[in-house]
């Protein structure tokens, strides 16, 4: 089945993937493409709409990314967001200049041109485009059924001083005379703020108006259809080949394995590697769980190998790369025991990809992920990543579609490098023991108070800091533990959780009293951005 698709051209915003995520939330399929994609390739895909993302550059810079100018004449609706708006204005004859006062954070936008009569989420009169139903004649179609004043999230140092010929000013803000503009005759729309982030009021409604009211989408993409299509695609690709799946025990790799097993049956073998940096009793729990799921599983205890190679490593990227390389070595050895194996399957997700790749569009690399970036040539296996284009909450929906129990589906994310990136500094057996015990306390107390499913992640971090304390009238000089708890919709942005003081007090008291070697507990109140969720 071919779905209606909105293509997002990525000019480097850290929020680009959120645009795609929000559209999928509306059951509209979207793909993120590089900004310099040739117009012939875009036209061949027959998108119902195109979105130009934000980005960190100024359009006046020599190295500023751009797109094929024919995008504006493709005959399908185009929405420019922030940098995308500035690029559209610059390319079509408007004037972009440094803003007298930059806008970073919340801003108030006033819609000055009101939408006409509207149906469900759209305004104006629709007329057909060259690829099917589409555009509206209403210049303010993006703001159909929305209030005149909106609190939005802005992130720009430039602004559109003069819109291009043919464009109407649709909205303004205190620091931007053109906060939104449109030329419905050419199906071109632009806004100077980010509707994809949760901080923008009614941002999802703006994207809904673009997708349904302007582009004519019907919302034909669901997780049920994804499962069917992924199963068919994998079955055709694997053919008579054999697959090994890297099973971590988390939701992502489990859902990936279930989809592949659905497609190829006993041609799949799952391999679980105990890397020595798992949580308390996790390896035993994983073996028990997957016995119930009846997935063909090979269990490998490689903890000594991993910890031996990690000895002395302090730099976070070094630790990640050691774990990734060791993981590959173990897999190579185990796969060789199985005979001829053609494919390696992983539970890679979209956020892993965007944070690992220096240019998906133009985004800056945040950190590497051990399961992103391909395999050594010597392995002679091809990758299968059924979930590579999905976000975590989408994977959970797929898990429910496949019959996984709810308690497992709502499990919080756990990093591939495990506790190695929650121990700042060298990873040693003694430090692992401290962190496992402290982390178990956090999990128990958060679940006891009903916060576990409300949080995106909650965990302990062991800091390479020792401080003086007093216990039983005696001086102690022990480690500090940080507690991290965040709320998020998809892991791309996150806010620190306002946990009740009584809950934090119990966690602190239990850790200090039960974990000999930790005498101080602190709480991390940083959001993402500017921080990341994990400390390393």
- Catalytic residue list: 82, 194, 196
List residues bridging with 318 in a β-sheet.
none
- Tell me which residue of 184, 370, 344 sits closest to 257, measured CA to CA: 344
Q: 213 Cβ partners below 8 Å, 6+ apart?
A: 118, 119, 121, 122, 123, 124, 136, 141, 144
Main-chain phi, psi angles of 182, to 5 degrees: -160, 155
Neighbouring C-beta atoms of residue 149, cutoff 10 Å: 11
Strand ranges, E, within 294-381? 297-301, 343-345
| Long-range CB pairs of 423-427, under 8 A, 24+ apart, other chains included | 423/461, 423/462, 424/461, 424/462, 424/463, 424/464, 424/535, 424/536, 425/314, 425/464, 426/310, 426/311, 426/312, 426/313, 426/314, 427/277, 427/307, 427/310, 427/311, 427/313, 427/319
Asked if residues 44 and 20 have their Cβ atoms less than 8 Å apart, the reply is no
The residue with tokens 């690709």 is 237
Q: How far is CA 496 from the centre of its chain?
A: 17
Neighbouring C-beta atoms of residue 123, cutoff 10 Å: 24
- Tell me which residue of 325, 341, 376 sits closest to 269, measured CA to CA: 341
User: Angle 392-401/251-264 helices, nearest 10 degrees?
Assistant: 50
- Tell me the pairing of strands 49-52 and 78-81: parallel
Asked if residues 255 and 390 have their Cβ atoms less than 8 Å apart, the reply is no
CA distance 260 to 268: 7
- Tell me which residue of 338, 241, 355, 240 sits closest to 297, measured CA to CA: 338
CA distance 178 to 169: 6
The residue with tokens 């023991």 is 433
E strand or H helix at 257: helix 251-264
Q: Is the dihedral of CA 282, 317, 460, 21 positive or negative?
A: negative
Q: 40 Cβ partners below 8 Å, 6+ apart?
A: none
Asked if residues 279 and 414 have their Cβ atoms less than 8 Å apart, the reply is yes
């Amino acid at each position: 089945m071919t779905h209606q698709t909105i293509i997002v051209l990525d000019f480097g915003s850290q929020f680009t993937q959120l645009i795609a995520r929000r559209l999928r939330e509306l059951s509209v399929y979207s793909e993120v493409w590089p900004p310099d994609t040739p117009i012939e390739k875009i036209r061949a895909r027959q998108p119902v709409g195109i979105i130009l993302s934000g980005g960190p550059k100024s359009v006046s810079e020599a190295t500023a990314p751009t797109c094929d100018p024919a995008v504006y004449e493709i005959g399908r609706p185009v929405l420019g967001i922030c940098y995308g708006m500035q690029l559209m204005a610059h390319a079509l004859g408007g004037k972009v200049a440094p803003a007298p006062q930059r806008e970073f954070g919340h801003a108030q936008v006033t819609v000055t041109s009101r939408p006409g009569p509207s149906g469900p989420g759209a305004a104006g009169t629709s007329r057909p485009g060259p690829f099917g139903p589409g555009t509206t004649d209403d210049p303010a179609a993006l703001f159909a059924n929305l209030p005149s004043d909106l609190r939005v999230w802005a992130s720009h140092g430039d602004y559109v001083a003069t819109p291009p010929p043919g464009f109407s000013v649709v909205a303004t803000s205190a620091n931007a005379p053109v906060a939104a503009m449109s030329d419905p005759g050419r199906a071109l729309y632009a806004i100077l703020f980010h509707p994809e982030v949760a901080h923008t009021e009614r941002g999802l409604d703006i994207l809904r108006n673009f997708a349904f009211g302007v582009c004519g989408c019907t919302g034909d993409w669901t997780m049920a259809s994804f499962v069917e299509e992924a199963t068919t695609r994998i079955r055709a690709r694997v053919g008579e080949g054999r697959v090994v799946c890297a099973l971590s025990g988390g939701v992502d790799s489990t859902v990936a394995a279930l989809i592949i097993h659905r497609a190829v049956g006993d041609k799949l073998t799952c391999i679980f590697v105990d890397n020595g940096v798992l949580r308390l009793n996790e390896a035993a729990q994983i073996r028990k769980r997957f016995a119930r799921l009846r997935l063909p599983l090979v269990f490998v205890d490689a903890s000594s190998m991993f910890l031996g190679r990690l000895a002395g490593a302090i730099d976070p990227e070094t630790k990640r790369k050691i774990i990734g390389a060791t993981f590959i070595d173990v897999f190579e050895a185990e796969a060789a025991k199985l005979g001829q194996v053609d494919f390696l399957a992983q539970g890679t997700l979209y956020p892993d990809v965007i944070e690992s790749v220096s240019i998906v569009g133009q985004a800056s690399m945040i950190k590497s992920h051990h399961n992103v970036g391909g395999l050594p040539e010597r392995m002679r296996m091809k990758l299968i990543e059924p979930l590579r284009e999905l976000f975590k909450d989408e994977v959970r929906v797929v898990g429910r579609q496949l019959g996984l129990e709810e308690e497992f589906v709502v499990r919080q994310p756990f990093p591939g490098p495990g506790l190695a990136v929650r121990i700042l500094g060298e990873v040693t057996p003694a430090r692992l023991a401290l962190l496992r015990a402290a982390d178990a306390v956090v999990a128990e107390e958060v679940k006891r108070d009903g916060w576990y499913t409300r949080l995106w992640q909650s965990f302990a971090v062991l800091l390479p800091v020792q401080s003086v304390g007093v216990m039983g009238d005696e001086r102690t000089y022990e480690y500090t533990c940080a507690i991290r708890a965040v709320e998020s919709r998809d892991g791309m942005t996150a806010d620190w959780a306002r946990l009740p003081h009584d809950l934090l007090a119990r966690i602190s008291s239990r850790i200090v009293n039960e974990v000999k070697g930790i005498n101080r507990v602190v709480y991390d109140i940083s959001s993402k951005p500017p921080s990341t969720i994990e400390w390393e």
